[in-house]
Structure 1
Amino acid sequence: MVLRLAVTDPTDLARLEKLFGAMWSIKRAVQRDARAKVDAYWAAKHERDRDGAKAVRQRLGLSREALERCAYRHLENAGHLKHHASKALAMHIADEVWNGVSRHLFADNTGKRFGRPKVGRWYDLTRIPGRARSHTTENKWETFRLVGTLHGHAMAYTDGGRHDLMQPRRMPKPTVPGGKVPTGKLAAAGKPGMRKANWWDHTGPLAVVFAGGPVGRRGDFVLPVRIPQGPGQWARVEHFLADPRCWHKVDLVRRRKASAPGGWVYEARLMVLRPGHASPAVRQMRQRAAELGRIGGVDGNVSNLSVVSFPASLDLDEGTPASSEITLTEQERVRLEKEAKKKRARARALERSRRATNATQYGLSKRQARRAERRAAKGLGPKAVTVPGGARAARLDGVPKQAFRRDWLSRNYWEMRARQAEAAASAAEYRRHRARQIAREIIAVHGPRLTVEDCDIRTWYRLWGKRLSQTTPGTLISALDIECKAAGGRLVRASTWSTALSQHCLCGERVTKSLRDREHKCIACALVGKRDLVSAALAAFVDLADPDDPKTARLDSARSRHAQIIFNEGLEEALSESTTPCQNTPRGAGRVAVPRQPGTSAHRTPDGGTERPRMRHAPCVTTSESPDPAPRAVHSSPPGELRIKS
């Protein structure tokens, strides 16, 4: 759970910045040491052949313990770092560096290794890991700890429970309880014993405490916590914070925000030892989806995502085929174009700021050079150019004379960079939320037992990168995989080499199509439908000998032909357009405009009269009751929403 830290005191803000600065210095030093050791390890080829790789790693100190000792030495040698960081934090940072080194030294199950370890940037350090709490030893929680109780927090900011939760903008910092409390062991034995109260006895408002460790600091570093207080948030807050025995680990995280003091927002990421939170509506939806008894297939495309499902028993009395097609709405395209326009404007503003601050590194543009020539021909003095528009000063081989990292950058430049990073993070979070919403809608209609082709979407980005960044099929399929597992099913992947779903028909015949052929036409059975929907329907009849190995997938043509015979017209309808209503429509989506009769300004009523045009609500997937052509309804949804096209 993400807990917002209410840091309003300038002293606490400065201490937080120095803490992150100290951790960055330690991590950068350990990364440089690890990179030098890795280079020496690969250079010692003859020694590795003679003594073995393990002996060379031990000599060079390529191990978790050796990197931790390197971090300790850097912390001790740099005396100022001990005033801000502790040895426990240095150990955790060294462990993170070792994780990257181990992925480079040792290959994974597929035989691949990560690249050579590098030194990251200052802005890449966004998390300081904390040490986990000990659940076997009483009152043992090192580095960052969460103190207080949810009940005490609610009583403090609800006026004793008489009002709604209302946390002030400047939240006060809790203090260590005063006085003495009975000692646990002596109190259990019935003997009188008292000890001084500490943070473990604090039952008031929640706070994150960094106690002990740094030298030269008086008192603990206390950061008050602001819990979510919006509508519908209390159930989620209770799930994570009601039982302190489940609290396991706290990481300190910073996030870019241009409007915040210093350009960063600080958060505490709490890990609890229990399943994640799901609302009652989501749990009910997953339970209904698990009871549907359907099998389906998914076909991911550059512009849409097609899903087709059948009853698991292929019995005519139990149900009919269902199909859905997820595409971008016109409002969604307009929103994406506006975001792209803002992104280009930010990039141009950043480039102008860099050129204005480092004018000597750029030449004049053609227009600026012609103006200078005209002024010189007229005997006028040269005009000062604040923003040169020409190419950057470079050598004969094209390498810039001055590296970009050595440019002077203004404060306005860094603020624009922060806004750019904030906008990118917001867009990524929106895409993830949209993918989760669509995945739940698909599961509610087609069930959690789905099959998708095992495609490498990275190759798609080389051809259609800009389009894929709008539709994000990879994010949609990943969210669908998570929702299938949460509903008790699974999204299995089938190899394209052994199935070739786009080149087959439900009758078992092979129908060769190129990428530009978007319609399926089979000569043998006269089946006509959309290429993506036919591929999704065939994916429902793929069997895997090993569900974890996509190469063991085989297409069961007998079952697909049996389904084609049973469902007949219903299947043709499903393969021509979406046929199932959406059970979980996003709020505000799915407004359908009733079409007007040509040449009139009103609609006909059943009694022959007229009425004014009106808007009626409908699901985002419409049901087609007959295969006869009918006027298509115009879907309109608010910006930021997707629709499932009919």
Structure 2
Amino acid sequence: MQAARAAGKFRGKNKAPKWKKPDDGMVSVMVLPLTVTDTGDLDRLNKLFGAMWNIKRALQRDARNKVDAYWAAYHERNEQGAKAVRQRLGLSREALERCAYRHLQDSGHLKHHASKALAMHMADEVWNGVQRHLFPDATGHRFGRLKTGRWYDFTRIPGRARSHTTANKWETFRLVGTLHGHAKAYTDGEQHEVQQPRRMPKPTLPAGTVPTGKVTASGKPGIRKATWWDHTGPLAVVFAGGPDGTKGDLMLPVRIPQGPGQRARVEHFLAGPGRWHRVDLVRRRKPGTPGGWAYEAHLMILGPGYTAPAVQQMRQQAADLDRIGGVDGNVSNLSIVSFPASLDPAEDAPAVTEITLSAQEQTRLEKEAKKRRGRARALERSRRATNTAQYGLSKKQTRRAEHRAAKGLREKTVTVPGGARTARSDGVPKQAFRRDRLSEGYRQLRARQAEAAASAAKHRRHRARLVAQEIIATHGVNLTVEDCDIRAWYRLWGKRLSQTTPGMLIAALDRECQAAGGRLVRASTWSTALSQHCLCGQRINKTLRDREHKCIACGLVGKRDLVSAALAAFVRLTNVDDPKTAHLDTAMSRHAQITYGQGLEEALRESTTPNPTPVRRSGRVAVPRQRETSAHRTAEKRPRATPDETRPARDHAGKPGRHPGCEPQLTHW
């Protein structure tokens, strides 16, 4: 009887044909901020996240213990097989779901805040991590041992997808209302633009009855009580009824994006309720709000995301460009060179683009770094002030204490000790940092630091997307780049890469090429050695310090990065999915060098002529700049070889409609 109660009831296999996502399973997500003004709703949200965090932590601990037992059963896995051991230990998706149900039922209080559907999907989230640890991926690698996450890292409660075969079946978080009703409520009868108040009112449950469309046994039309499915007013996220059915519906008003250019995007996501698939409840740290958290609903819809008509037109024009190009990534710049696919000088000339940080971006990065250092110092002072017993006195504080003791003065209490942390003989701190007492100001400052880091990351992604669009609009969608490991660059040059983000730029360029119908092909550096060759085919050995290309065979002189990018355009691959099959077509590169002659050499050569006036070319800004000559670089001796040195600031002109600090420096020839 006890075993039957613990096992519970489970549904059997579905007898109907399995439903599949349309458009090859393509989905997209829209972030909808939630307005929580009622203290009761805020308290329920906090308790809901707390309950789900307890369930997830318990599942992670159970899964970690089971995985440890699985790896310890070495002889049993060899004798009976790994699958039999996993079944005995309960290492499966269904077993973790049953474990989540047991935690929910045995706790007594968790079922007042969370539901079985939420617990099941949380078990599925934990199983995904277990699966990545037990089974290797396509490259043969496994993820590490499972860990229990932190409370402040728990930010997402996965919802349950709605049923697309049964009407009005959405078991967890559901999005109710219509876009038309929302616009009608906040546009004064659709007479003005959407203007949502700061404190949005909560929609009310529809009152009265609605017809069911069926006829009763007495011949009268059937009616039923109105529910949230009949709500056609402003949009809201509803957690209907609550787990125990005593607290009523948790209703959270939704704030849609408003302002110029947002209407088409909002209609793409919210105009068709039939495409709504799932709603996840997400929170993020936001100092200044009640509770320190801002809540969002991540709506997943079936189908592709929104693409502006201007971006679609740009991608179509880029796809029509019959060009081949190469990309050379560096620590401080990104070089792109492209040629017409036919190498006909009558069609078009070679295009050369260099992307570096503009003066506005360098100034902004310096300000952000200064603020980041200030926050780090403030956090360290706060930790030392609240944990004085874990730190010793600095040399200056020690001398001051000895001087006061020599004069017979009373000992002065040090509020912020400046010495090293008390540690054992082997250097390990006596008390772990996680056990330190933290003040409320420390937590708020750390939250502001996390918010600033998230804002900076969003800015970098936006910049990378703009740069990628500029590149394919000029050089086409068929590009080749060297297959480099950015992690090795971080080991050599560290935080410098966080400013220029070459890996993020190349990843954004890859996405833009695929979206426009092309591809960014990766070529192995071992079989091509682009930086060690010339367009004529001659091998020119260079070190990382040598930033200028000089060929003794053909006399070509130019920037090392631009010459490598030009050679990347003539890389051929036997299998485009395998970078190791790449080889350099020196015959085509030599043909291009002869065809374009002096024009190509001038584009690849360093320009030492300053011209601070921006020049408009094809709707883009072309800014020639002052560069260091090779004599200047060779005259300055550095203790360490670097791939590229910081160049002088350049003049910059931004495009209309963009913030000047958000634009990278693009130099075209």
* TM-score (norm: length of structure 1): 0.91
Gaps of 5+ in 2: 1-29, 630-648, 655-659
2:258 counterpart (199, 210, 229): 229
1:139-193 superposed Cα distances (whole Å, 9 cap, x missing partner): 1112111100000000011121123211111111112211111114559xx9722
Distance 1:63 1:567, change over 3 A: same
Q: Deviations over 1:434-457 (max 9, x none)?
A: 000000000110011111111010
Q: In structure 1, what is the Cα distance between the partners aligned to 2:520 and 2:188?
A: 49
Amino acid at match of 1:395: R
Query: Which residue in 1 is equivalent to 2:8?
Result: none
Task: Select the residue among 652, 658, 661 that pairs with 1:635.
Answer: 652
1:73 to 99, 102, 120: 102
Could you tell me which residue of structure 2 aligns to residue 8 of structure 1? 37
Contact 2:64-2:147 within 8 A present in 1 as well: yes
For residue 355 of structure 1, the aligned residue among 375, 381, 384 is: 384
Q: In the alignment, is the contact (CA less than 8 A) between 1:255 and 1:266 conserved in 2?
A: yes
Aligned counterpart for 1:142 among listed residues 171, 194, 197:
171
Report the counterpart of residue 591 of structure 2 in structure 1. Answer: 562
- SS of 1:181 mapped into structure 2: strand
**Alignment match, 1:289:** 318
Alignment deviations for residues 368-413 of structure 1 (CA, whole Å, 9 cap, x no partner)? 0100000000000011100011111212222222111111111000
Q: Write out aligned runs for 1:97-246 (5 A).
A: 97-184=126-213, 186=215, 192-215=221-244, 217-246=246-275
Q: CA deviation at 1:484?
A: 0.5
* Distance in 2 of aligned mates of 1:311 and 1:623: 24
Indicate yes or no: 2:398 matched with 1:369.
yes
Q: State how 1:305-316 maps to structure 2 within 5 Å.
A: 305-316=334-345
**Counterparts of 1:33-48 in structure 2 under 5 Å?**
33-48=62-77
1:524 aligns with 2:524: no
The answer to whether the 8 A contact 1:620-1:643 is kept is no
**Would the aligned equivalents of 2:550 and 2:558 in 1 still touch at CA under 8 Å?**
yes
Please state if 1:418 is matched with 2:440: no
Q: Distance in 2 between matches of 1:110 and 1:48?
A: 23
Q: How does 1:433-582 map to 2 (within 5 A)?
A: 433-576=462-605
Hey, what's the Cα distance between the residues in 1 that align with 2:302 and 2:213? 25
Are 1:404 and 2:433 an aligned pair?
A: yes
Helix, strand or coil: the match of 2:339? strand
Which residue is 2:24 aligned to?
none
Give how far 1:623 is off: 8.0
Q: Deviations over 1:110-165 (max 9, x none)?
A: 11000000000111111111111111111111211110000000001112112321
Q: Is the 8 A contact 2:359 2:652 kept in 1?
A: no
Cα distance in 2 for partners of 1:233, 1:621 equals 27
Is the 8 Å Cα contact of residues 211 and 224 (structure 2) preserved in structure 1? Answer: yes
Deviation per CA, 1:511-537: give whole Å up to 9, x if none. Answer: 111111111111111111111111111
Corresponding position of 2:460: 431
* Residue range with higher mean Cα deviation, 146-155 or 390-399: 390-399
Q: Which position in structure 2 is the counterpart of 1:645?
A: 667
Cα gap change, 1:623 to 1:312, in 2 (>3 Å): farther
Counterpart contact for 2:359–2:650, Cα < 8 Å: no
Asked if structure 1 preserves the Cα contact closer than 8 Å seen for 2:510 and 2:519, the reply is: yes
Deviations 1:184-223 (A, max 9, x none): 4559xx9722122111111100000111451153311110
Question: Cα–Cα, structure 1 residues 191 and 323, in superposed 2: closer, same or farther, change >3 Å?
Answer: farther
C-alpha separation between the residues in 2 aligned to 1:378 and 1:75?
Answer: 66
CA contact under 8 A between 1:593 and 1:616: conserved in structure 2?
A: no
Is residue 2:288 matched to residue 1:266?
no
Aligned twin of 1:581: none
**Which residue identity lines up with residue 661 of structure 2 in the other structure?**
P
Q: Does 1:336 align with 2:365?
A: yes
CA contact (8 A) 1:335 1:640 kept: no
Q: 1:382 aligns with which of 411, 418, 424?
A: 411
Per the alignment, in what secondary structure is the counterpart of residue 568 of structure 1? helix
Q: Give the one of 50, 63, 74 matched to 1:21.
A: 50
AA at the equivalent of 1:113? R
* 1:256 shift after superposition: 1.1
Q: Which residue of 2 aligns with 1:86?
A: 115
In 1, are the aligned partners of 2:623 and 2:651 still within 8 Å (CA)? no
Q: What is the distance in 2 between the residues matched to 1:645 and 1:315?
A: 24
Task: Flag the 1:575–1:12 CA change in 2: closer, same or farther, 3 A.
Answer: same
Q: Read off the aligned partner of 2:72 and give its amino acid letter.
A: A
The residue type paired with residue 61 of structure 2 is: R
The whole-number CA distance in structure 1 between the counterparts of 2:330 and 2:650 is 24
1:483-518: CA deviation from partner (whole Å, max 9, x where unpaired) = 101111111111111111111111111111111111
Instruction: Name the aligned partner's letter for residue 273 of structure 2.
Output: P
- The equivalent residue for 2:19 is none
* Structure 1 position 317 matched with structure 2 position 346: yes
Note the C-alpha offset of 1:235: 1.0
- Alignment check: 8 A CA contact 2:214 2:221 kept: no
1:260 alignment partner AA: T
Aligned-residue offset at 1:593: 4.7
Segment of structure 1 superposing worse, 548-557 or 112-121: 548-557
Bigger shift: residues 564-573 or 412-421: 564-573
2:161/2:278 contact within 8 Å kept: yes
Whether the 8 Å CA contact 2:615–2:621 is kept in 1: the answer is no
Residue of structure 2 equivalent to 1:599: none
Give the structure 2 partner of residue 622 of structure 1: 622
Letter matched to residue 383 of structure 2:
R
Kindly indicate whether residue 70 of structure 2 is the aligned counterpart of residue 53 of structure 1: no
Q: Contact 2:623 / 2:652 at 8 angstroms: preserved in 1?
A: no
Question: How far, CA to CA, are the matches of 2:395 and 2:55 in structure 1?
Answer: 48
The answer to whether the 8 Å contact 1:310/1:322 transfers is yes
Question: Is the Cα–Cα contact under 8 Å of residues 615 and 622 in structure 2 kept in the other structure?
Answer: no
Does the 8 A contact of 2:358 with 2:650 survive in 1? no
- 2:134 and 2:492 mapped to 1: Cα distance? 33
Q: CA deviation at 1:556?
A: 1.1
CA drift of 1:361 comes to 1.2
- Give the Cα–Cα distance (whole angstroms) in 1 for the partners of residues 98 and 437 of structure 2: 37
The answer on whether the counterparts of 1:329 and 1:636 sit within 8 Å (CA) in structure 2 is no
Structure 1, unaligned runs of 5 or more = 579-591, 595-614
Partner Cα distance (1:216, 1:210) in 2: 11
Determine if contact 1:502/1:535 at 8 Å carries over to the other structure: yes
Contact 1:290-1:487 within 8 A present in 2 as well: yes
Compared CA separation, residues 283 and 550, structure 1 to 2 (3 A)? same
CA distance in 2, matches of 1:201, 1:372: 75
Over the matched positions of the two proteins, sequence identity in percent amounts to: 76
Shift in CA distance, 368/202, structure 1 to aligned 2, threshold 3 Å: same
Aligned AA (1:622): A
- 1:566 and 1:381, CA in 2 relative to 1: closer, same or farther beyond 3 A? same
For 1:112 and 1:275, locate their aligned partners in 2 and report how far apart those are by CA, in whole Å: 31
Aligned to 2:26: none
Q: Supply the AA of the counterpart residue of 1:233.
A: Q
TM-score normalized with structure 2 length: 0.88
Tell me the distance in 2 between the aligned counterparts of 1:241 and 1:208.
13
